[in-house]
A and B are shown apart, each in its own frame.
Chain A
């Protein structure tokens, strides 16, 4: 169905326009004029969200390579929520740290546009372009504190390894094209379904290369090396943004490519992904235990969460596909909020991201400590939070597909992960009152964003049915 309608691309275009507007406004503002650039960005994001809501259930496509099916739109919504929350957390941080406002907001918006594109792309080359758009934005954001050597190091590492993985991915696309004569996912799908290619070694190579490319982006073990450094070096709010947005976008594309076009070969790739999932869950949690820096710890935790998402991908049944979507939403809100707390507690010259900095936070900032605790419990998968429902959903997918082994690894690693999440809680609640000066007051906009996140976490944990149904609806249209 080749249609020249622009409809399917509207959410993406809204965000791009907002990014251009921010750039323009920044370029033409008077030197000391204070412009509400953040507000401008939020308007663009909300516009995109409205557009996405209107496209729901319409299954439109643009130029044949962008498809606004419910799956893509669900992920788009997740990304827009991530975007709005990021903006709300960023406002006080940008002011406090003196970050270049125009550049920062424009880069965030461009990255989001790339992420959305990745979620709705129906062509391997478009996936690749989207990947580059979002990656370049995020590379720069990682190193946006130019005076900080750690940030620069993180950005460079991230960039080099990212470029490396892009090459793998591109190579995989080339092989796919060589085998099937197309990069369009639907055509690749029909072609491979029609031909019996199970024994074709080239296909295994193509699958493997694509897998490596995606595995880098979702930081699956053993392609996770860049993650802890990049997450630690970047400003906390950027870390929150990339650990959720990039992962959501990459997973959406991963699921689309492997569960639609390459679905017939699940026999070939499922064992590989099984191994990736198990290794990612185990390494992410076990190494996470040894961290004393909160950002680094959450970096490993986000690696582990990638592993849980992979479990849903391996299961590959209806529950599994829907559970990926639900998990992405729950994880995105929770993780972003946790990084939001870190960002809001930091100071210009001191990130305050060491575990010790949280000692006795309960006494000085009780509300923040409570909000952080809810986030950590949700990350650990304890009821009644979104994280619990999400994990339950993923593991029920694994069990119903017969992957008891993965489910058991999953639940046991989540117990281990509870140990390190609790270390933070111990610091906040059970350590002595700190002797150092209390952290600065948190601006209202940050508190509003945190409160909204926690409200979403709890409501998803207590009344998940509407969103579970949406997720189930989303996968009904494709695959």
Chain B
């Protein structure tokens, strides 16, 4: 019941909001508090899920299953394992923070904004907990609509262009995945006589390598666009820069992870042969993305764009870890997803605060803020260092594990990826230096407000998480270990099985000759 509640609660909140009259900004306060209450309640529910989760088991837990469209074997089928659990918690953790960030900056059409935020949260949670491919696709596509409106209505100048680009790019990728999903269900029918969209049943399908290649590509392109993997990343800077702060926080914090989650949950275990074949290609694109993203980030004059490109770089690490497909690599990848959610979410939040105060995001417009807003500076410092991957903060653990795992697989990628770690220190610290150190160069900056209580409430949880995740990684790694192990086993087993069978077939052929 808890999982259904975790996505239904935001929907219920959104429906309740629709009943409240909000013409000309009346009752904005009520609406904001109600939305926050719904989001916090959702967070509480997901924490309960975490508390009741048995980390020793690799099975799906909190499973709920009801027939939905029985003629096609489509079920309403939910469950979490160690991989999705923390992503669900991350989603519900970041949503209230994103709401707090929009408290002051969104002042028109507050009701609609809140409705879209809550619907977005529901769809994101739905994506992570669906175990039925059809249901997964429904949530995956449904998520586009609220995000589209959030960017298009409350974004900055180029918002309409960015919103449409975001929507079309993502859809173009995902519809091909739909065809592949249908194809999988059809393959299941040819093999067993009934349609099924049940992920666990589809895992056991024996798919010919040639077919795997096509299906793998269809799934992976959808996810690669979402991640975004170089060269599918061009929608990201537009969407990030134009989105309102809350949108950017969610976009960077959660939405991008849906791509890497998809790779890990669907592409690799469903099509192990094709995955083995394409893993080096993906890893190559990932390391290109790591270095390219970092280099482009370095020269950005706009802070938001800089952070956006840094996401391309960081997510490259995640993909690299997944491609390595061993325990360290995958655990590191998931850890990095969580860490990136916290630190990049935080960066967008803080950049948003600066931009609310000054209505510009250009680095050159700032300088010497350390003396003016010391508390904001401290928070920014912590999050910046977390993002760079300073030991003791959250970014370090993930990157370290990924490189460890990737090293065991193919050391060449690690050498290049290591370059990205250095570059990230360069562009982040350089930005920090230009914005906060030195003399106050623009007199408007001399009177900026420091953090408000509401902003404290948004920033402090993130900073605390950055420390906690850096110092006590086991607390987060433990629950995912069994599930990660299971998925790694599944992929490798699929590959060896196939190899063995090929060998026997070859031997038989030779004998015949």
**Interface residues as binary, A31-58 with B (CB distance below 8 Å gives 1, 0 otherwise):** 0000000000000000000000000000
CA distance A233 to B195 in the complex (A): 46
Contact of A465 among B69, B159, B168 (CB under 8 A): B69
CA distance A430 to B157 in the complex (A): 11
- Name which residue of chain B comes closest to A412, CB basis: B175
B182 at the interface (CB under 8 A from A): yes
- Contacting residues, chain A, for B163 (C-beta < 8 A): 426, 430
- Contacting residues, chain A, for B175 (C-beta < 8 A): 411-412, 414-415
- B69, B134, B168, B175 interface centre (most CB from chain A within 10 Å): B175
B179 at the interface (CB under 8 A from A): yes
* Shortest beta-carbon distance from A65 to chain B in Å: 33
- Contacting residues, chain B, for A377 (C-beta < 8 A): 145
- Name which residue of chain A comes closest to B135, CB basis: A383
* Shortest beta-carbon distance from A244 to chain B in Å: 24
CA distance A426 to B171 in the complex (A): 17
Q: Are B68 and A465 in contact, CB atoms less than 8 angstroms apart? A: yes
CA distance A430 to B155 in the complex (A): 10
B356 at the interface (CB under 8 A from A): no
A384 at the interface (CB under 8 A from B): yes
B1 at the interface (CB under 8 A from A): no
Q: Are B142 and A382 in contact, CB atoms less than 8 angstroms apart? A: yes
B189 at the interface (CB under 8 A from A): yes
Contact of A396 among B70, B159, B182 (CB under 8 A): B182
Contact of B183 among A384, A388, A399, A414 (CB under 8 A): A399
CA distance A411 to B164 in the complex (A): 18
- Contacting residues, chain B, for A419 (C-beta < 8 A): 164, 168
Q: Are B178 and A411 in contact, CB atoms less than 8 angstroms apart? A: yes
Contact of A468 among B69, B144, B160, B172 (CB under 8 A): B69
CA distance A412 to B137 in the complex (A): 16
**Interface residues as binary, B144-167 with A (CB distance below 8 Å gives 1, 0 otherwise):** 110011001100000110011001
Q: Are B171 and A418 in contact, CB atoms less than 8 angstroms apart? A: yes
Q: Are B179 and A408 in contact, CB atoms less than 8 angstroms apart? A: yes
B64 at the interface (CB under 8 A from A): no
Q: Are A422 and B142 in contact, CB atoms less than 8 angstroms apart? A: no
Contact of B164 among A382, A407, A422, A472 (CB under 8 A): A422
- Contacting residues, chain A, for B103 (C-beta < 8 A): none
Contact of A415 among B145, B160, B171, B183 (CB under 8 A): B171
- Contacting residues, chain A, for B70 (C-beta < 8 A): 465
Contact of B149 among A400, A429, A469 (CB under 8 A): A429
B349 at the interface (CB under 8 A from A): no
A392 at the interface (CB under 8 A from B): yes
Q: Are A418 and B138 in contact, CB atoms less than 8 angstroms apart? A: no
- On whether A383 and B179 interact (CB within 8 A), knowing A399-B186, A418-B171, the answer reads no
B511 at the interface (CB under 8 A from A): no
* Shortest beta-carbon distance from B76 to chain A in Å: 11
CA distance A79 to B186 in the complex (A): 32
Among residues 451 to 476 in chain A, which have CB atoms less than 8 Å away from a CB atom of chain B? Answer: 464-465, 468-469, 472
A164 at the interface (CB under 8 A from B): no
How many interface contacts (CB-CB < 8 Å) are there between A and B?
78
B72 at the interface (CB under 8 A from A): yes
Among residues 414 to 447 in chain A, which have CB atoms less than 8 Å away from a CB atom of chain B? Answer: 414-415, 418-419, 422, 426, 429-430
Q: Are A382 and B144 in contact, CB atoms less than 8 angstroms apart? A: yes
- Name which residue of chain B comes closest to A408, CB basis: B179
CA distance A411 to B182 in the complex (A): 12
Among residues 64 to 82 in chain B, which have CB atoms less than 8 Å away from a CB atom of chain A? Answer: 68-72
CA distance A388 to B139 in the complex (A): 12
CA distance A465 to B141 in the complex (A): 20
- Name which residue of chain B comes closest to A402, CB basis: B186
* Shortest beta-carbon distance from A336 to chain B in Å: 22
B376 at the interface (CB under 8 A from A): no
- Contacting residues, chain B, for A399 (C-beta < 8 A): 179, 182-183, 186
A395 at the interface (CB under 8 A from B): yes
B63 at the interface (CB under 8 A from A): no
- Name which residue of chain A comes closest to B134, CB basis: A392
Q: Are B167 and A418 in contact, CB atoms less than 8 angstroms apart? A: yes
CA distance A374 to B407 in the complex (A): 50
Contact of A408 among B138, B149, B176 (CB under 8 A): B176
- Contacting residues, chain A, for B172 (C-beta < 8 A): 412, 415
**Interface residues as binary, A391-414 with B (CB distance below 8 Å gives 1, 0 otherwise):** 010011001100010011001101
**Interface residues as binary, A278-322 with B (CB distance below 8 Å gives 1, 0 otherwise):** 000000000000000000000000000000000000000000000
- Name which residue of chain B comes closest to A472, CB basis: B71
Q: Are B167 and A407 in contact, CB atoms less than 8 angstroms apart? A: no
Contact of B141 among A382, A412, A468 (CB under 8 A): A382
B185 at the interface (CB under 8 A from A): yes
How many residues does chain B have at the interface if contact means C-beta atoms less than 8 Å apart?
A: 34
CA distance A377 to B167 in the complex (A): 12
CA distance A419 to B165 in the complex (A): 9
- Contacting residues, chain A, for B68 (C-beta < 8 A): 465
Q: Are A426 and B185 in contact, CB atoms less than 8 angstroms apart? A: no
Q: Are A395 and B69 in contact, CB atoms less than 8 angstroms apart? A: no
- Contacting residues, chain A, for B69 (C-beta < 8 A): 464-465, 468
- Contacting residues, chain A, for B153 (C-beta < 8 A): 429-430
Q: Are A395 and B144 in contact, CB atoms less than 8 angstroms apart? A: no
* Shortest beta-carbon distance from B295 to chain A in Å: 32
Q: Are B179 and A395 in contact, CB atoms less than 8 angstroms apart? A: yes
CA distance A472 to B163 in the complex (A): 39
CA distance A414 to B168 in the complex (A): 10
Contact of A404 among B71, B142, B160, B179 (CB under 8 A): B179
- Name which residue of chain A comes closest to B23, CB basis: A366
Among residues 189 to 238 in chain A, which have CB atoms less than 8 Å away from a CB atom of chain B? Answer: none
CA distance A414 to B175 in the complex (A): 9
- Contacting residues, chain B, for A407 (C-beta < 8 A): 179, 182
Contact of A411 among B72, B148, B179, B186 (CB under 8 A): B179
- On whether A422 and B167 interact (CB within 8 A), knowing A411-B178, A430-B159, the answer reads yes
- Contacting residues, chain A, for B160 (C-beta < 8 A): 426, 430
Q: Are A426 and B182 in contact, CB atoms less than 8 angstroms apart? A: no
* Shortest beta-carbon distance from A447 to chain B in Å: 16
Q: Are A392 and B71 in contact, CB atoms less than 8 angstroms apart? A: no
- Contacting residues, chain B, for A408 (C-beta < 8 A): 176, 179
- Contacting residues, chain B, for A472 (C-beta < 8 A): 71
- Contacting residues, chain A, for B144 (C-beta < 8 A): 382
- On whether A388 and B141 interact (CB within 8 A), knowing A419-B164, A419-B168, A430-B152, the answer reads yes
Contact of A395 among B72, B152, B159, B178 (CB under 8 A): B178
CA distance A61 to B163 in the complex (A): 54
- Contacting residues, chain A, for B137 (C-beta < 8 A): 383
- Name which residue of chain A comes closest to B22, CB basis: A366
Q: Are B138 and A404 in contact, CB atoms less than 8 angstroms apart? A: no
- Name which residue of chain B comes closest to A377, CB basis: B145
- On whether A400 and B142 interact (CB within 8 A), knowing A412-B175, A418-B171, the answer reads no
* Shortest beta-carbon distance from B96 to chain A in Å: 25
CA distance A411 to B186 in the complex (A): 17
Q: Are A400 and B189 in contact, CB atoms less than 8 angstroms apart? A: yes
- On whether A383 and B141 interact (CB within 8 A), knowing A419-B164, A429-B152, A469-B71, the answer reads yes
Given contact pairs A383-B138, A400-B189, A411-B178, a sample of 14 additional A-B residue pairs in the complex whose CB atoms are under 8 Å apart: A383-B141, A384-B138, A392-B134, A399-B182, A407-B182, A411-B176, A412-B172, A412-B176, A426-B152, A429-B153, A430-B159, A430-B163, A464-B69, A468-B69
B binding-site residues for A, Cβ under 8 Å: 68-72, 134, 137-139, 141-142, 144-145, 148-149, 152-153, 159-160, 163-164, 167-168, 171-172, 175-176, 178-179, 182-183, 185-186, 189
Nearest 3 Cβ contacts at the A-B interface: A411-B175, A399-B182, A383-B138
List 5 A-B residue pairs with CB atoms under 8 Å apart, sorted by A's residue number.
A384-B142, A396-B186, A408-B179, A414-B175, A465-B70
